Structure 1
Amino acid sequence: MKYMDMLALLGVGGAHPGGLHLTKQLLEKEEINSDTSILDIGCGTGQTSAYLYCRYGCEITACDINATMVQKANKRFEQLKLPCKATIENIEDLSFDNESFDIILLESVAAFTNLSSSLKECKRVLKKGGIILAIETVKEPQMTEQDERLVSEFYHFQSIPNEMEWVEYWKKAGFSTVVSRREYKVEVEVEGEDEEQNIDFGTEFDLSDEIPSNIYDLFDDHERLTKKYQNLLGFCIFRCIS
């Protein structure tokens, strides 16, 4: 079992850094309306896609490489009676036509892929002047090669670029403007913790009927590694214009 299998079987929503709360903050800064076409690659359980449709009424295309995630995303859409349908797609070889989307979302997705292939595919299916919003893992300068190897083996990262290396990958893929940000402001005014806040910060689960016991061991390993490497792994927000 891999880390991504664990997320799928546990049905974790908002597993990316910052959770749905950060995603909402980023989306509020964009011009999105009912005519905007958005591709949510690595949609997971469909949390962001469902929010996008409910909030903006825009055209949503959701996809993921994991069949269990796709099934759970479609389950969510059906329960909410949303006209959305998630499909299985490989970001390195997308089935969509050239220049199909206004916005592409990548929430902790690209680092698990061959960046040279996946970012070029994103550029291909994005309309001219279109935008990619990506929340991705970055390594800090003090991370050693051994640390990077151990983290990559556990999470199956194909690479862990630092911030400037990410920027170079985006530019090589053909994006004309790349803006990266390491800081964001968390704005929560409601005291205490309610259901909406929990979901915003990624504590949502949709458990599969049968979960192997080693999945929980994997989850414990993930928690241990997160704590161990919290000062060596960060995340960055990239806004790239085609």
Structure 2
Amino acid sequence: MGHQDHRRGLDRSRGRRHRRGGAHLTVLVAALVAVVLAVSGCGGDSGEDTAPQPTPVRLDAPPTNLTWASFNGMSIPQADQGPRTPDQLAPRGFEQSPAGSALAAINATIRMSVATDDQWPQIVRTLLAPGPARDAFIASRIQLSTTDLVPAGQAPLVLGWQVTAFTPEQAGVDVFTQLPDQSLAVNHTTVVWTGFGDWGLLLPDANAAAPAVQTISAVPAGAVRIKGD
């Protein structure tokens, strides 16, 4: 009996040592996992701290490889940012960027303004964003008849633009022009990214409190200048 009691005591002692050893091993493994997670950046919110931040969009980014196209006596700026789909009447395909939105706004504004009777339906359908203002413009334009081009020396000159707000879905663009009498004007425009994968000019509400076109004394210093000093 004494021998058996001695063996049972040894077994209990070994069991306690095994349990203590297992507890120590569990603590060691937990500590090791914590260290690995901290080093690898996989634990907690560290992934949010190390995630790359998006590059800010430059609203004053200038166009590249600027050229000019003539349409009904007006000069329209073109560049790498658009248009990329050549068409004599309603070119499209503008980059989804501040410069692309500005070029699209100028392109659509000029072409719809000086289009002749046989040109404006395609221009409106292709370059203008759908909406009540476009419907109202169509109803008014049908009542008019224009077949003449802009006379030489009477065309406003596009000096540049300023993108006042930009998201990939919508942009506000102030277009600056010089009139034949040397006075300056700004045209407040808005373009939206349409389901066709391009910018469309969103015509202003006819009942808006502020006029879309205003006289100014100077082009703002922060504007993107594309012509003139």
Normalised TM-score (structure 1): 0.24
User: Which structure has more helix as a fraction of its residues?
Assistant: 1
Q: Higher relative contact order by CA 8 Å / sep ≥ 6: 1 or 2? A: 1
Normalised TM-score (structure 2): 0.25
